[in-house]
Amino acid sequence: MSDQQQVTPESVPLADDMPMLGLGTWQNTDPDQCAESVANALEMGYRHIDTAQAYDNEESVGEGIAQADVAREDVFLATKVWITNLAHDDVLETARESLDRLGVDYVDLLYVHWPSDTYAPEETLSAFDELYDEGLIRHVGVSNFEPEHLDDARELLDAPVFANQVECHPLLPQDELREYGEEHDVNLVAYSPLARGEVFDVPEIQDVAEKHDASAAQVSLAWLREKGVTAIPKATGDAHLRDNLQSVALDLDEEDIATIDGIDTENRVVDPDFAPW
């Protein structure tokens, strides 16, 4: 943006205590690069880091957090329990292993990665409650849950369902899940918020970006924020990290929002065989 303003950690809006822009680390599996990108992101102003057991990089993420000149308590750290580890005792065991790999005493948010494979709502979620009661996790989250799964989770958990992490972007706006979250106080967190780069080629987004002298990535991330959705775009290089962070300074007007809402293409980019939809 031509009138770029300094983005500080304090200028990133919060959804409860969760910064609404974070760093996703999926596919960031080179240990040195992963640690460096996490450390650089934190030094730059990011305060929300997202990983998962299945990403095979928790140790590197933890090294990046340790390298950065940012206090642990100032970092909102999330990880996820993989679908093969969702039996009650496996949740307890592997969550502690995640903490060890990350080098932390707690995580701010622990997600059920998908409601599939060994996921058994009562058994799985009771283990999450135990971790919550022990203070090993600050918030309980779910990922890739549809409304019926959220209903079950909210009924079974003693702890609140803090967040549902799903694919969400201008080509998959997730209206039903956003409305559900607003009604039941479940924050929506968007993975693949740039549709793996597909938003860059959408004319409506290009038009809004040109109007604001902004990037298509910034426009897409700002649109999500305007919808009340937290975004965790993945990035490794400094240029992309800075570009995504600068989306916090972009204010879209009602016309911009209407333009993006009017996109008539719908495309889901993450659709594994075990998905619940």
Q: How far apart are CA 122 and CA 198, in angstroms?
A: 38
Cβ neighbours, 10 Å, residue 236: 19
pLDDT digits 0-9 by tens, 92-144? 999 999 999 999 999 999 999 999 999 999 999 999 999 999 999 999 999 99
Reported as a pLDDT band with limits 50, 70 and 90, residue 6 is confident
Q: How far apart are CA 218 and CA 222, in angstroms?
A: 6
Q: How far apart are CA 86 and CA 83, in angstroms?
A: 6
Select which of 46, 55, 119, 132 is catalytic: 55
- 119 classed as catalytic: no
DSSP designation for 3: T
Q: How many CA atoms lie within 13 A of 199 on its CB side?
A: 28
Look at residue 3 in the predicted model and tell me its pLDDT: 45
DSSP helix/strand/coil, 165: strand
Name the nearest CA neighbour of 256 among 197, 215, 212: 212
Q: How far apart are CA 233 and CA 193, in angstroms?
A: 6
Q: What is the pTM of this model?
A: 0.96
Q: How far apart are CA 99 and CA 56, in angstroms?
A: 13
